[in-house]
Amino acid sequence: MGNPHARGALRATLTGLASLSLLTGAALASIPQAAAATQAAGPSVRSNPYSPAYQHPYRHGALPTIQRHAQMKAWAAQHPATTATTAATGPQTLSYGGGVDGIGVQSGHSKVYLVFYGSQWGTQGTNSSGDATFSGDPDGAAPVAQEMFKDIGTGSERWSADLTQWCDGPNVASGATSCPSNANFIPYQSGGVLSGVWYDNSTTSPSAATGHQLGAEAVKAAGHFGNTTAASNRDAYYVVLSPHGTNPDNYQGSYCAWHDWNGDTTLTGGAVTSSYGDIAFSNQPYNMDSGSGCGVGFVNSPGTLDGWTMTLGHEWQEMMSDQNPAGGWTNHTGSSYDGQENSDECAWIAPGSTGGAANVTMGTGTFAEQASWSNDTNDCAITHAIVGGSTGNTVTVNNPGNQSSTVGTAVSLQMTGSDSDSTQSLTYTATGLPAGLSISSTGKITGTATTAGTSSVTVTAKDGTGASGSTSFSWTVSSTSGCASPGQKLGNPGFETGTASPWTASTGVVDNSTGEPAHSGSWKAWMDGYGSSHTDTLSQSVTIPAGCSATFSFYLHIDTAETTTSSAYDKLTVQVGSTTLATYSNLNAASGYALKSFNLSSYAGQTVTLKFTGTEDSSLQTSFVVDDTALNAS
């Protein structure tokens, strides 16, 4: 996106000041008397004749052009507020609207769908990053929009963390200016929010699409993406992007973008019918066509796409905090901010100023963004700590299995984990470790146990956003290194009971027919041998005593009708837990039985599952016959 350049910020500031200077004397006198009369009730965004929402109430969160914004502020200065209708910490404080259809904010992980509306976008292609590109996109705006939404919640960016203070749910009172701890908070949007891209070139985009047409396109997109229920659209958001050269909802010279939902009855043409539940969407013009008025060069030089990413971010943050306007968080103070959302209150603040726009570095890219209002800091925030609710990150700690050791013997165990945000590092802690053992912040458990006994250990890993995950296992410390319970640990080791128990086996595996002889006795486990696609399994869970050496053994016979000497078509896999001990195949066929054995001493103190899995392809049988199994502890 480029680097900040002072000339871009200065030019935008001077533009705003010039517009303010124009609005004096005769200019103010020209304001319609009906609009001027609203002074008695206090100014609001929707009563301000320079506001894009004036006589267009569906334009929620409409970002005025820089020139219109300056005119709005000048008019508001001439019409000061006389009363404040709700309690607030200041004139910019947002309060909760009580929800519409039970929806106030997106309290789950946001799913953003980009809808490129109309064949004027031209021929679609794909760049090296997998982003859709279009021949009718002279400024290369389409792939930048995709990369920005992919990057939100990555690289430890905290621009979007401002949203985590907002909430909804039955525990949030209408008019509340802060969230109770038992509310449904917006989570930190870890890992990106882009969920789909659609080029709807089935028709041309209207030269000046109405709000109703834009809402209908969003509903159409929900069907395209398969979001055909209210639940699937609860956290969905459809950005309707009109092509270069069009003038959706007559935005030129007035505003740069707005958002709404399909059920808004004030939409031109009325609410848009949907059988898919409520549909949140935005009108995103190709606002580079408006030049500096919509932010070209506002942060960077030349900064062609500064305003593009700023408006995309502006409307997304407002939708997140006010999904079905105005059931979420908006201003109700009776001041000139009345009716505004979180991003409206921080519009067009010059870079370098408090709360000003800035370049935000995310996981793989840097994008010009504007700040959004924060109740908890009473200011515009371009970066914010994660507060309230879940961070949205998922932390997983891998379970190492139950552990055993002996008094006086040093141990070393490295714990591992993962985070849904791969850029995060994990810090480990543990409770319940045997006396003498400790864990480092990187997850390594070391030390020498001093006391015999069994402990329940819980290891927790936490990332930089506060998200955490845990796993628990037992740790048995023996007083001596001797084996307290030696001997055979498998039940029915030769299958001579005539049933599988305590083995778990596929039908027909435990067998006493003469088709395959047993190693001893009459019964054995015969897997496969059908000459068609088939899978057989045989398994038993067994506890290996702590402090013991352990050997797992069995006799195996393989015969086959396969004639190949190079291809393993039929296989027998032997496992302990998820670890494969050995794999045999038709290539290992031989007359008679062969003894197989494996050292399982590392599993002492644990309960493990021993499993055989035989798989056979579609022709030419292979039989895997197992008998006289043993797990001997010593």
Q: 368: how many CB neighbours lie within 10 A of its CB? A: 27
CATH number, domain 487-633, options 2.102.10.10, 2.40.30.10, 3.40.50.1000, 2.60.120.260: 2.60.120.260
Distance between CA 258 and CA 350 in Å, rounded? 21
Q: 24: how many CB neighbours lie within 10 A of its CB? A: 11
Radius of gyration, CA atoms only, the chain: 34
Give the lowest-confidence range in 104-108, 403-407, 434-438: 403-407
**Domain ranges in the chain?**
44-381, 395-478, 487-633
Task: Give the angle 57-60-61 at the CA atoms, nearest 5°.
Answer: 140
Distance between CA 382 and CA 149 in Å, rounded? 17
**What per-residue confidence (pLDDT) applies to 388?**
58
SS3 assignment for 352-413: CCCCCCEEEECCCCEEEECCEEECCCCEEECCCCCCCCCCCCCEEECCCCCEEEECCCEEEE
Is pLDDT larger for residue 465 or for residue 243? 243
Asked if residue 398 has pLDDT above 50, the reply is yes
Q: Please choose, from the candidates 623, 503, 628, the residue with its C-alpha nearest in 3D space to the C-alpha of residue 557.
A: 623
CB crowding 534-558: b at 16 or more within 10 Å, else e: bebbbebebbbbbbbbbebebbbbb
CB 446 within 8 A of CB 415: no
Interacting residues of 128 by C-beta distance below 8 A, sequence separation 6+ = none
Interacting residues of 295 by C-beta distance below 8 A, sequence separation 6+ = 12, 66, 256, 287, 303, 306, 307, 308, 310, 311, 348, 368
**What per-residue confidence (pLDDT) applies to 392?**
58
- 3-state secondary structure at position 632: strand
Q: Please choose, from the candidates 588, 595, 589, 600, the residue with its C-alpha nearest in 3D space to the C-alpha of residue 634.
A: 600
Most confident segment among 9-13, 75-79, 218-222, 428-432: 218-222
Distance between CA 383 and CA 610 in Å, rounded? 53
**What per-residue confidence (pLDDT) applies to 82?**
58
Distance between CA 16 and CA 107 in Å, rounded? 36
**What per-residue confidence (pLDDT) applies to 191?**
87
Distance between CA 202 and CA 56 in Å, rounded? 29
Q: Please choose, from the candidates 513, 532, 531, 533, the residue with its C-alpha nearest in 3D space to the C-alpha of residue 522.
A: 513
Each as own residue / partner, the long-range contacts of residues 505-508 (CB below 8 Å, 24 or more positions apart, any chain) are 505/536, 505/537, 505/538, 505/539, 506/535, 506/536, 506/537, 506/538, 508/536
Distance between CA 633 and CA 551 in Å, rounded? 7
Q: What average pLDDT does the chain have?
A: 89
Confidence of residue 14 (pLDDT cuts 50, 70, 90): very low
Q: Find the mean pLDDT for residues 132-160.
A: 96
Give 496's DSSP letter. T
CATH 2.60.40.10 describes domain 395-478: yes
Asked if residue 22 has pLDDT above 80, the reply is no
Q: Give the DSSP letter string of 455-470.
A: EEEEEEEE-TTS-EEE
Is pLDDT larger for residue 181 or for residue 221? 221
Interacting residues of 193 by C-beta distance below 8 A, sequence separation 6+ = 109, 110, 111, 112, 149, 150, 152, 153, 316
Q: Find the mean pLDDT for residues 432-439.
A: 94
Model confidence pLDDT, tens digit, residues 253-303: 999 999 999 999 999 889 999 999 999 999 999 999 999 999 999 999 999
Q: Give the DSSP letter string of 403-439.
A: EEEETT-EEEEE--EEESSTT---EEEEESPPTTEEE
**What per-residue confidence (pLDDT) applies to 480?**
64
Model confidence pLDDT, tens digit, residues 57-73: 999 999 999 999 999 99
Task: Give the angle 545-546-550 at the CA atoms, nearest 5°.
Answer: 60
**What per-residue confidence (pLDDT) applies to 406?**
85
Q: Find the mean pLDDT for residues 116-142.
A: 96
531 Rama class: left (phi>0) / alpha (psi -120 to 50) / beta? left
**What per-residue confidence (pLDDT) applies to 345?**
95
Give the lowest-confidence range in 82-86, 326-330, 392-396, 480-484: 82-86
Q: Please choose, from the candidates 440, 388, 395, the residue with its C-alpha nearest in 3D space to the C-alpha of residue 415.
A: 440
Q: 445: how many CB neighbours lie within 10 A of its CB? A: 22
Where do we find the tokens 């009708």? 561
Interacting residues of 564 by C-beta distance below 8 A, sequence separation 6+ = 586, 587
Give 521's DSSP letter. S
Helix axes 141-151, 306-321, angle to 10 degrees: 40
**What per-residue confidence (pLDDT) applies to 51?**
93
Distance between CA 345 and CA 311 in Å, rounded? 13
